[in-house]
Chains A and B, each alone.
Chain A
């Protein structure tokens, strides 16, 4: 009785209360963890603005949308994270809350920098190797120098007020590290950054350059690799044009630009008779056949003498080049056909459960040969291409024979299986009849 009464009044939790308390503890712990994560995430994303800074306090508190954006955007800025504040770019005295004192030109206040002055303003720190090393010992400090060699920089010096400066590509008061996925300079965002001007026909009026480049680039194999395959090394605007020194590659430098990645094809092209011919005709290598911004995945139809082939743009049917193009295409078609035929039968055999892994492994020799042949097309040497494709065709045909053998073997096994099953079924039927006969005789 005493025990019961003690239980009834005990402040200690019962089993039910225990579960309830445990549940509450878990919920509380989760709330703490989630809260901490949110807090930490928030801190990582946005820095806390300093207290007692007249620039920030006024710009934030004034409530005028013309002046609040700098203070509103600044928490995301990498400069704040590194301790670089308003006065470091704009001058003035942030400790003084009297506008006459805080924004006093005598205290270096420059207000909103003029468009033309921005590169030099950023360069005050970013071109100072000793200063920048404090933040990152390997950081580049030649950006402004390079910018001045770009079309943007040259036009800025000529007094163009619309041309891009540092803040056009890096944003302003919301400047992020280049590895930040939100940065305007993050590889997948570069096309939008450049496209803000270069895709705007109205803004670009007067510059006499195409404004369909962004739309074209978005159809390219490079854009697909960058955005769909997640290959951040795939080229976007700045990879071919340069970033701070952005300039369109000249006719004589296109092959070098494409060749930074496609080095073998560039080497082949440089060894080919087209090198001299293109130079004589003023044609840019690579882009004359593959286009520039809308480079699509090349197919074998690009070479040859039919309507889709680019060779016929220059070579007429009576020319030796035309015959060479036809021969090259024949070699490609033969090899591709042989590889497809062999791969098809091996796939069917594998799908049907036959062991053809060795043949599939060896067929790689032919697919490699096909890829090498396609690259070698850039030498425009039909004999070299024929030699390579013949090697591949030989391997592919051998593997096709193995596929045929595997399928024959499969058919033989199927026949054997059906015959065995038939014999077993006949035996079963005979057995059933025999049992019935015995039953009848007995019954």
Chain B
């Protein structure tokens, strides 16, 4: 009878020990994962909703928005078409800006000029700006990579 009780107690102890052990691992694992920094710094952002409604973007203008930790540029061409680009100059990564009077995208750091398709047209930039896809969903403008 005692042997039976001992074996039952041992079994219960085993179950409890295993349970507590598992629980300890289950608790400590996320703690350790939290304490050890991830290898990659910033997660890649695939799309972002810009902070303006379509009606707020005036024709022949360009506005800078935050795409992850990088700048993006939303352009409304003189013809009224919305386009978006990475606002990082392909020369030395300065932030580019829209020039209403010249209807182009300009980098003030070294006078790099891009047309409204993002193509580098003069100055030192070696290649076009990265182009983003623009989708208007009701009152929201969503810009995404992979245009």
Q: Roughly how many angstroms separate A443 CA and B31 CA in the complex, as a whole number?
A: 37
A375 / chain B contacts, CB cutoff of 8 Å: 109-110
A198 / chain B contacts, CB cutoff of 8 Å: none
Q: Roughly how many angstroms separate A229 CA and B126 CA in the complex, as a whole number?
A: 9
**Are B124 and A261 in touch, CB under 8 angstroms?**
yes
Q: Roughly how many angstroms separate A338 CA and B93 CA in the complex, as a whole number?
A: 18
Q: Roughly how many angstroms separate A353 CA and B66 CA in the complex, as a whole number?
A: 19
**Are A262 and B110 in touch, CB under 8 angstroms?**
yes
**Are A353 and B37 in touch, CB under 8 angstroms?**
yes
**Are A371 and B31 in touch, CB under 8 angstroms?**
no
**Are A357 and B41 in touch, CB under 8 angstroms?**
no
Q: Determine whether A21 belongs to the interface, using a CB cutoff of 8 Å to chain B.
A: no
Q: Which of B17-69 contact A (CB under 8 A)?
A: 20, 23-24, 27-28, 31, 34-35, 37-38, 41-42, 66, 68-69
Which one, A264, A372, A443, contacts B9 given CB within 8 A?
Answer: A443
Size category of the A interface is 35 or more
Main secondary structure of the interface of A (DSSP, over half): helix
Q: Determine whether A29 belongs to the interface, using a CB cutoff of 8 Å to chain B.
A: no
Q: Which residue of chain A has its CB nearest to the CB of B16?
A: A435
Q: Roughly how many angstroms separate A365 CA and B109 CA in the complex, as a whole number?
A: 11
Which one, A263, A360, A367, A424, contacts B69 given CB within 8 A?
Answer: A360
**Are A439 and B13 in touch, CB under 8 angstroms?**
yes
B127 / chain A contacts, CB cutoff of 8 Å: 231
CB of B62, distance to nearest CB on chain A (Å): 16
B69 / chain A contacts, CB cutoff of 8 Å: 356-358, 360-361
Q: Roughly how many angstroms separate A417 CA and B34 CA in the complex, as a whole number?
A: 10
Which one, A234, A262, A353, A361, contacts B70 given CB within 8 A?
Answer: A361
**Are A371 and B94 in touch, CB under 8 angstroms?**
yes
Q: Determine whether A225 belongs to the interface, using a CB cutoff of 8 Å to chain B.
A: yes
**Are A368 and B95 in touch, CB under 8 angstroms?**
yes
Which one, A263, A367, A417, contacts B123 given CB within 8 A?
Answer: A263
**Are B27 and A357 in touch, CB under 8 angstroms?**
no
Which one, B24, B31, B70, B126, contacts A231 given CB within 8 A?
Answer: B126
Q: Determine whether B136 belongs to the interface, using a CB cutoff of 8 Å to chain A.
A: no
Q: Which residue of chain B has its CB nearest to the CB of A347?
A: B41
Q: Which of B77-127 contact A (CB under 8 A)?
A: 92-95, 108-111, 122-124, 126-127
Residues of chain A at the chain B interface (Cβ within 8 Å): 225, 229, 231, 233-234, 261-265, 267, 347, 350-353, 356-358, 360-361, 364-365, 367-368, 371-372, 375, 414, 417, 421, 424, 428, 432, 435, 439, 443
Q: Could you write out 26 A-B pairs with CB less than 8 Å apart? A: A233-B126, A262-B110, A262-B124, A263-B110, A263-B111, A265-B110, A347-B41, A350-B42, A351-B37, A352-B37, A353-B38, A356-B69, A357-B42, A358-B69, A361-B66, A361-B71, A365-B95, A368-B108, A368-B109, A371-B110, A372-B109, A375-B110, A417-B31, A417-B35, A421-B31, A424-B27
